[in-house]
Structure 1
Amino acid sequence: MKTNPGRFFEDYRIGEVIRHAVPRTLSGGERALYHALYPARGALYSSDDFARACGLAASPMDDLIVFHTVFGKTVPDISLNAVANLGYAEGRFLAPVWPGDTLSSSSEVIGLKQNSNGKSGVVYVRTTGRNQRGEAVLEYVRWVMVRKNRLEAPEPEAVVPELARVVPVSDLVVPAGLTFEGYDFEAAGEPYRLGDYAVGEVIEHVDGVTVEEAEHMLATRLWQNTAKVHFDATFRPDGQRLIYGGHVISLARALSFNGLANAQMIVAINGGAHANPCFSGTTVRAWSEVLDKAETGVPGVGAIRLRLVASSGPGTALKGPDGKYAPEVLLDLDYWALMPV
């Protein structure tokens, strides 16, 4: 049998390192498609001149292009037979990626826990993306609920990794040469610096984007995400294809420009949860809460910690009295971004 049905929960082993197939060279084409799919307008990722004024050689690839590319490589080995992608932690962007760079991915299995129904389990992996020189550009932990194929397969010893709740400021990587000392606020689109934001402040981002089936399918193919729940309408009992969670992340991040235009670069993902499924026809809205602020030690460059929430309804509801996510919440993402002080 030469075809590959993908891995199931019983196929993973703690400590196993999986090298994912098909490295990918990125170009301006991925950037153009990314900006066509999402209303992305971050100045640092849109203009070489703006990036040079900030000390970089040119405009790097969008941080979430890097995330989607590295993530997509892992899908055939990690989440092809997933029920759902559950969460993220300890994510760090370690180096800029430039047009012409080639990215590859590998993952280490760091946790396994079978569900009580015996039909599925949660797989924890630490994924690293590297460029053509072998330099790490991104690392993160994610956990995925994966179906069992052989229900009689023995239950593995449960191993649930202890994960940091927040990436320490000292571990944030500011790209070499980056400076916001001569930052052009007018060109960036808003006048707000790090000092203009208060911890606890909530920003409603006003706009909304309705998810279309065609755009979602284009995006999922673009990132080479082959998970069956996104492609195969017969895979779920309800006959609906789940919208790739990364698609929701990028939509929400792009919507957050209105109010956070100067949160230029994501440098860490502290945690994240896809709280409820998203389907075609859903209108995605977003709001952010300022969780923390910090100096980075680099002239003019500060760090802002944000909670980004994508929702299918208006307002800023997050969880109900029972502690569970409100049914309209699609995404709860905690991240650090770089911003002028």
Structure 2
Amino acid sequence: MSKTNAGYFFEDYRVGQVLTHATPRTLSAGDVALYQALYGPRFALQSSGDVAEASGLPRGVVDDLITFHTVFGKTVPDISLNAVANLGYAEGRFLSRVQAGDTIRAESEVIGLKENSNGKTGIVWVRTKGFANGDRPVLEYVRWVMVRKGDVTAPAPETMVPELAEAVAAEALQVPEGLDWSDFDFDSSGEPHRFGDYAVGEVIDHVDGVTLTDPEHMMATRLWQNTAKVHFDVTARPDEQRLIYGGHIISLARALSFNGLANAQLLAAINGGAHANPAVAGDTIRAWSEVLDTARTENPSVGALRLRLVATKGAPGALRGEDGKYLPEVLLDLDYWAFIPI
């Protein structure tokens, strides 16, 4: 009998199934440094221990996307090892901040299933929760994935598509305990723009671009212990190209968004997201954002911006064609809340 793990196929999932993911991972200053090297984010709160302390947070608070990628990576062997594509996100909330030295674990519950008409694949919805140092909640989100069937003759499960909120309500956002931006140092952050400087409907072209390479995305994917075959094995796709991990695109786009959103210091929630088209090495991506909403929080020094972040190989502001479908050059459409000083 084989001792190896071929991963879950679509017919292996059941609604209500709870998956406890291996392996807990302790984050270190080395992870933070490597993240900086891969993506180049410049947000002051995560770049400077002095800025973090002056904001009422501990030194060593890690970038929120490090938390996201670490939790996500834990889920891959059980959720998306045999995935065709990661399709989207919803109802994501950052519940508390992670520091270097924290140990992260994750678990997921299957909340929806739907076999595709081709009978060869199906969509699996899961709600994933990440915890630090045992049971402190740090992150939760829903994602849905298209997964291959191992046995195409296996009967289709009863279809259950979960009802998901369009966005996390502003009042449900978790402002970090102790956060105080009443005397925020805008000189250190690199831009003067604060909460009141952004208007709903405003579109921001982040100007800069980056060309994707296989070594960088494979290193990043290994960093998060993401074992999905399509990111490493050229025989896993008909075109024999490695698919760039969608989280790699998210982090690159977020880093690019610094130019125009330097003071959107902390991620608060992921309302929704779609990896609209695949990306491969050699693609050059740029990013633009649209302000979808603004909200004040119970903390008088902290506001929240609801932002659409788009990674694209095309022009800023272009998203969908006349048919309502994403343009082929659009790679990522991410709807999120971020905290910003008032």
Aligned CA-pair RMSD: 0.6
Q: Give 1:313's aligned residue.
A: 314
**Cα distance, 1:132 vs structure 2:** 1.1
Unpaired segments ≥5 residues, structure 1: none
What SS does the corresponding residue of 1:149 show, helix, strand or coil? Answer: coil
| CA offsets 1:206-246 (integer angstroms, 9 cap, x no match) | 00010111101100110100001111100111101100000
Matches within 5 A, 1:148-167: 148-167=149-168
- 1:1-341 mapped onto 2 (5 Å cutoff): 1-341=2-342
Looking at structure 2, the residues matched to 209 and 180 of structure 1 have their Cα atoms a distance apart, in angstroms, of 32
CA distance in 2, matches of 1:299, 1:31: 30
TM-score between the two structures when normalised by the length of structure 1: 0.99
Contact 1:52 1:59 in 2 (8 A): no
**Aligned equivalents of 1:193, 1:21: Cα separation in 2:** 41
Any gaps of 5 or more consecutive residues in structure 2? none
- 1:35-68 deviations in whole A, cap 9, x for unaligned? 0000200100011100111111224111000000
> Structure 1: how far apart are the matches of 2:316 and 2:91?
29
Query: How far apart, in 2, do the equivalents of 1:45 and 1:315 lie?
Result: 27
The two structures have a TM-score, normalised by structure 2, of 0.99
The whole-number CA distance in structure 1 between the counterparts of 2:189 and 2:327 is: 34
Moved over 4 A (4+): none
> Counterpart of 1:281 in 2: which secondary structure?
coil
Amino acid at match of 1:278: A
d(CA) in 2 for partners of 1:40, 1:337:
15
Distance 1:3 1:219 in 2: 24
Give the letter for the 2:248 counterpart.
H
Check the 8 A contact 2:105/2:134 in 1, yes or no: no
The structural deviation recorded for 1:316 is: 1.7
CA distance in 2: counterparts of 1:138 and 1:89, whole angstroms = 12
Contact 2:82/2:228 (<8 A) preserved: yes
**In the TM superposition, what whole-angstrom CA distance separates every residue of 1:71-117 from its partner, at most 9, and x where no partner exists?**
00000000000000000000000001011100000000000000000
Q: Given that residues 121 and 145 in structure 1 are in contact (C-alpha distance below 8 angstroms), is that contact kept between their aligned partners in structure 2? A: yes
1:154-204 CA-partner distances (Å, limit 9, x unpaired): 000000000000100111001100011010001000000111111000000
The AA in structure 2 aligned to 1:153 is A
Q: Is the 8 A contact 1:83 1:147 kept in 2?
A: yes
Distance 1:260 1:315 in 2: 15
CA–CA separation in structure 2 for the residues paired with 1:83 and 1:232: 13
Q: 2-side partners of 1:57 and 1:25: how far apart?
A: 18
Amino acid at match of 2:10: F
